[in-house]
Amino acid sequence: MKTLNIIANILLVIGWLNWWLVGAFDFNLVTFIFWVWIIWSDIIYILVWIAALYTVFFNYKLFKE
């Protein structure tokens, strides 16, 4: 479980950094890194979304107890 939390947090930081760069500088880091393999950027976005959902539900479970 701890490993899954670490992976989820890393993906959230990647998502946060990417959207901060998009908002501040109109620069998409994920697309820049995976410009040849567009499907990989879509996969990264999906993984960040799953990590965000996991973190929200995991934190809700912790605060509920």
CA distances from 63 to 7, 22, 54, 58, 59 (A): 21, 32, 14, 9, 6
Q: What pTM does this model have?
A: 0.76
The pLDDT of residue 35 is 80
Give the count of domains, the chain. Answer: 1
Each residue's pLDDT tens digit, 45-60: 999 999 999 988 887 7
The pLDDT of residue 62 is 65
Each residue's pLDDT tens digit, 6-47: 899 899 999 999 999 999 999 999 888 888 778 888 888 999
Return the higher-pLDDT residue of 61 and 41. 41
Q: Do 19 and 49 form a contact (C-beta atoms < 8 A)?
A: no
- Give the domain range for residue 58: 2-64
